[in-house]
Homo-oligomer: A and B are copies of this chain.
Amino acid sequence: MIRQQLLMPSPEDLADFLNRHTRSRDCLVQVAGLAEVTYQGRAASTADVGTYLVVVKQDGSLQIHHPTGIKPMNWQPKTDSITARVDEDVCMLLASRRSPEELVQVVFLEPQMALALELAQAGGFVLRGSEAEMQQTLAEHPELIEPGLRVLNRELMVESGGIDLYARDAQGRYVVVELKRGRATQHAVSQLARYVRSVEGKLPAKAVVRGILAAPSITTPARLELENRGLEFREVSALPQATAAAGGPVAQPSLFD
């Protein structure tokens, strides 16, 4: 499972190690030690000499971590080429990609450890509580939004974007539903209003189009703007324990009952 490990490798050994294991594309490679990092692309950055952890995964993705924080200090989601070479008696790692043209360069001043790991066995991964799941549940049970609602489309594309749920209510009025898995903000209200306008533009002039924002909660400014625009809010939770955690008796049926 440990393919290879080097302690305090020489620049040449490290470059060999990196080139060999990143090219084989079958193991996760990391180097820890004193280094300098520069990046140039959509933005540009420089990291002074410090101790960092460089990780290159099988797919060529690169991340460079400093001691704290969830996000890497520098990274490269996809690389067109990863190359190590020795220059002026230090090992350098160059990770580049086109489109956008970006380059991350690591200068290993004092590499302490290099490690190649096989992470061979892949396991299935399932995420629940996404907006996609919410959408599916509500498409199958539109009564959770409102009695008598009939869903006509999911992800209906209009000029201004995609409408999560397009429906008609018990009175035959068209309804645009915008879903949010988390607290709805002004951004969601903007989206909903845009979609309602788009739909109104496509229907006969007098047609009434309702807009419903369906989310577990909504920010106060969003609620105000929503009401100003004559749009509606409907509370729906993305996960079962979300309502349970709220403490009180569930005010409405959970999507997961």
- Please give the distance in Å from A198's CB to the nearest CB on chain B: 11
In the complex, per-residue mask of A43-77: 1 if CB is within 8 Å of any chain B CB, else 0: 11111111111010111011101111110110111
Check A28 against B67 for contact (C-beta < 8 Å): yes
- Which residues on B sit within 8 Å (CB–CB) of A186? 160-161, 194
- Which residues on B sit within 8 Å (CB–CB) of A76? 70
Check B70 against A1 for contact (C-beta < 8 Å): no
Given known pairs A1-B32, A1-B51, A127-B45, the reply for A67 and B119 (CB within 8 Å) is: yes
Check A50 against B117 for contact (C-beta < 8 Å): no
Binds B, one of A15-23, A140-148, A238-246: A238-246
- Which residues on B sit within 8 Å (CB–CB) of A65? 28, 55, 57
- Which residues on B sit within 8 Å (CB–CB) of A182? 42
Check B68 against A34 for contact (C-beta < 8 Å): no
Check B130 against A43 for contact (C-beta < 8 Å): yes
The answer, yes or no, to whether A249 is at the interface (CB within 8 Å) is: no
Check B45 against A126 for contact (C-beta < 8 Å): yes
The answer, yes or no, to whether A9 is at the interface (CB within 8 Å) is: no
Interface centre among A45, A63, A122 (most CB of B within 10 A): A122
- Which residues on B sit within 8 Å (CB–CB) of A49? 121, 123
- Which residues on B sit within 8 Å (CB–CB) of A28? 53, 65, 67
- Which residues on B sit within 8 Å (CB–CB) of A241? 40
- Please give the distance in Å from A102's CB to the nearest CB on chain B: 11
Interface size range on A against B: 35 or more
Check A58 against B48 for contact (C-beta < 8 Å): no
In the complex, per-residue mask of A183-201: 1 if CB is within 8 Å of any chain B CB, else 0: 0001100100010000000
Given known pairs A2-B112, A48-B124, A238-B43, the reply for A66 and B119 (CB within 8 Å) is: yes
Show the binding face of A for B, using Cβ within 8 Å.
1-2, 7, 28, 32-34, 36, 40, 42-53, 55, 57-59, 61-63, 65-70, 72-73, 75-77, 101, 112-113, 115, 117-130, 159-161, 181-182, 186-187, 190, 194, 221, 225, 238-239, 241, 245
Interface CB pairs A-B, < 8 A, 19 = A1-B33, A1-B112, A32-B117, A45-B128, A46-B125, A47-B124, A47-B126, A48-B125, A49-B123, A51-B118, A51-B120, A51-B121, A58-B67, A63-B70, A66-B125, A67-B119, A67-B120, A67-B122, A160-B225
